Amino acid sequence: MGFEELPHTADWSIRVWANDLPALFAEAARSMNTLSGVQSAPGPRRKREFEIDGSDSESLLVTFLSEILYAQEDEETVFDTFDIQISGQHLSANLEGDRLRALSKPIKAVTFHDLHIQYTKHGCETTLVFDV
């Protein structure tokens, strides 16, 4: 499980890999935290549950990460613990995190560009491009 930044002229592009699909989603969310340089504030832990549907795994991933971005911007919450269940085209998530204290650079959006989740002998991986 991990991610690496790939060259991109204007935005952020990563390759992310994990043993299975839920872990891939969680690692992609962590990559956004790292790239944005989020800093959390001490205080009571914040919890959030949500369910989403998508036309396929890629669509689910974009929607899931977009939910994380929305929570970051509107609710000023940064998640670091991810319990994700995926069944077909349905995802349910139990997330935990802290209040966002600061971030160095926000991500505007998660794009579908170059997004193809591939299954390998080690699990699964994909590239992701974030608009910044």
- Amino acid identity of residue 96, one-letter, is E
Contacts of other proteins in 59-78 (CB under 8 A): 59, 62-63, 66, 70, 73-74
Q: What gap in Å lies between CA 91 and CA 96, rounded to an integer? A: 16
Nearest by Cα to 95 from 86, 85, 107, 83: 83
Measure CA 9 to chain center.
Answer: 21
Count CB-CB contacts under 10 A for residue 125: 18
Q: CB burial class (10 A; 0-12, 13-18, 19+) of residue 53?
A: exposed
41 touching other proteins, by CB under 8 A:
no
In this chain, which stretch among 2-10, 39-47, 85-93, 118-126 interacts with other proteins, using CB under 8 A? Answer: 2-10
- Near other proteins by CB under 8 A: residue from 1, 11, 23, 124: 11
Site stretch for other proteins (CB under 8 A), options 4-12, 43-51, 84-92, 118-126: 4-12
Q: Which residue has the tokens 């949500």?
A: 50
Q: Which listed residue (20, 53, 83, 131) binds other proteins by CB under 8 A?
A: 131
> Where along the sequence are the contacts to other proteins (CB under 8 A)?
5, 7-12, 37, 55, 58-59, 62-63, 66, 70, 73-74, 102-106, 108-115, 129, 131-132
